Amino acid sequence: MPADIQPQLETFFAECRALVDHELDLLLPREDETPVTVHQAIRWSVFAGGKRFRPTLLLASGETFGARPSALLPAACALEMIHTYSLIHDDLPSMDDDDLRRGRPTCHIRFNEATAVLAGDALQTLAFKTIADQTQLPSDVRVHLISELATASGTPRGMVAGQAQDLEAESRQVTAEELERIHRLKTGALIGAAARCGAIIAGANGQELANITSYANRLGLLFQITDDLLDVTATAEAIGKTPGKDARSQKATYPGVYGIEAARKRALSVHDEACAALKEIGRSSDRLRAIADFILHRKM
Amino acid sequence: MPADIQPQLETFFAECRALVDHELDLLLPREDETPVTVHQAIRWSVFAGGKRFRPTLLLASGETFGARPSALLPAACALEMIHTYSLIHDDLPSMDDDDLRRGRPTCHIRFNEATAVLAGDALQTLAFKTIADQTQLPSDVRVHLISELATASGTPRGMVAGQAQDLEAESRQVTAEELERIHRLKTGALIGAAARCGAIIAGANGQELANITSYANRLGLLFQITDDLLDVTATAEAIGKTPGKDARSQKATYPGVYGIEAARKRALSVHDEACAALKEIGRSSDRLRAIADFILHRKM
């Protein structure tokens, strides 16, 4: 990425993160409110140093189509709640069995399994409530957002379907097609929802929604390829979890299926496809372009 | 309960159950759709012979205020999805650790823990999506329903908060006030939502909503007292789970706190309060009255 864009992009990400973190703090139950354990667990996992990539994408998409940040923030936070609930449940011993995330104990390690199950459940609930209660948006926009978010996070066309297929695929060889299908559901669907929800709040038309969806589909794929590459190549310190874990548990990964070099080339070409999709949007989309650059070059 | 009302009531419950089961079958992902395991698990738990008490209450409340069953059914099914998700997660080894429910293996026993976590997660998502997508209702009614359901099932004022407090209270003596607070959240909130959502769909006004809420609050308490009494007094065959389990795990129960005879008396007086609240509604509320009778005298 050109050296002059990097600082600008980091400023944008930092600004979005600050906005999102402030809004999340207002939306989540307080730690001193009964039942304290589950509220502590929720905040432990939500404020664990996440990049806020999905909310940032929602904000960038919404601003591209002309929405104000204040109209976008609650839905951006709802997305982060869904993402965090999925991380809490994915880390459980019966699922991926992870003790560390972003360099800190995972929710069920810091608290206990029952609390982690409930914290995830409650975060999902609060995500939908946050959108339903956003009275500054027309009701028909709110039900549209809720339907988008639910489709992208549930089954058969969303995140839970991807996680279920990923578990089913463990300990056996998957084809390249299966791998893309799994990741399109597991991470791509929610990334697509982030881009689409921003545009929906801004009142984008059908063609604009189709264009942003093309971009988001490539971005989601790029995100997963670089995520898999980081798992193979990065140090534990940089990614905050045990590297190489995917390979050891025989999870379906891009480097595993294609090899590291071919996976890197695939990342480059998917990045170019994402940028090409942006040209169709016909609006100033520097930030969306910058997000694609950022994902391509990310180190964490 | 008078002998002549019993058959009528059973017919009403059976009719509602048939309507709800048919609609659920249409709303849930098919078992042969990928990922099949999680869809099988969802249907295993949803079609496990439940009484459909909450959907029936929603239908009865909605019809009392003049709504047609077709307008009520999707929300009734959404409630049952939330209820079923909570049962699947409550049964997990890290929570109540139950192997049997309604005489059949629980979801994590029949499938596995990871699948049970995901099936519960997906059912919660589908509940909100079902309401969001119900285009026959105005958007502002849909967001109202979603907000009601989310408040009643989340934390700090809903089902998850109750479950968390129940777990925190295990292995220690709770006061009568704590016990009522736990159960008001754990079961009462969703029962209240059932009654309120029916009335909201029917377009009930604020006073009518307040009246149905008073009734539902007493009904929820009655439900929990009789549930606890059944756990002590019923046979395993009748209730389809291991009786006496609550006492062994030192869970907070009404017979445990008050004794069996006092708990029975309390059930009678709470039933009378529920029926008194119905008088305020000023509409023909035979079915709501019958539901209270049914709960008081239930054997399962």
* Closest approach of B286 to chain A, Cα-based (Å): 33
Cβ pair B212, B196 in contact under 8 A: yes
Distance of CA B106 to the CA centre of its chain: 18
More confident residue, B284 or A114: A114
For residues B164 and A115, give the distance between their C-alpha atoms in angstroms, rounded to a whole number.
Answer: 7
| Domain at A5-297: CATH architecture | Orthogonal Bundle (1.10)
* Closest approach of B284 to chain A, Cα-based (Å): 32
Do the chains contact at B35 and A156, CB–CB below 8 Å? Answer: yes
Residue among B113, B129, B160 minimizing CB distance to A94: B113
Tokens 């995972």 sit on residue: A106
pLDDT value for B226: 94
Interface test with A, best of B128, B177, B182, B197 (most A CBs within 10 A): B128
Share above pLDDT 90 across residues of chain B, in percent, rounded to a whole number: 75
Please list the ranges in chain A whose pLDDT falls under 50: none
Is B240's pLDDT higher than 70? Answer: no
Show Cβ contacts of residue B269 under 8 Å, excluding neighbours closer than 6 positions: none
Q: What 8-state DSSP symbol labels residue B73?
A: H
Maximal CA-CA distance, chain B:
52
pLDDT value for B245: 63
* Closest approach of B297 to chain A, Cα-based (Å): 32
ipTM of the complex in this document: 0.94
pLDDT value for B170: 78
CA angle B58, B60, B63 (to 5 degrees): 105
Cβ pair A222, A295 in contact under 8 A: yes
* Residue closest to A89 by CA, chosen among B117, B86, B112: B117
CB atoms within 10 A of CB B94: 20
Do the chains contact at A29 and B128, CB–CB below 8 Å? Answer: no
CB atoms within 10 A of CB B28: 21
pTM of the model: 0.95
**3-state DSSP assignment of residue A136:** coil
What H or E segment, with its residue span, contains residue B100? strand B100-101
Sign of the torsion angle spanned by Cα atoms B144, B292, B277, B280: positive
pLDDT value for B186: 93
For residue B147, give the chain A residue with the closest CA: A129
Do the chains contact at A146 and B126, CB–CB below 8 Å? Answer: no
Cβ pair A241, A100 in contact under 8 A: yes
Show Cβ contacts of residue B68 under 8 Å, excluding neighbours closer than 6 positions: none
Query: What are the DSSP E strand ranges found in chain A?
Result: 100-101, 104-105
Is B2's pLDDT higher than 90? Answer: no
pLDDT digits (tens, 9 = 90+) for B207-239: 999 999 999 999 999 999 999 999 888 765 555
**3-state DSSP assignment of residue A101:** strand
pLDDT value for A236: 53
pLDDT value for A7: 79
Cβ pair B206, B186 in contact under 8 A: no
pLDDT digits (tens, 9 = 90+) for B79-131: 999 999 999 999 999 999 999 998 999 999 999 999 999 999 999 999 999 99
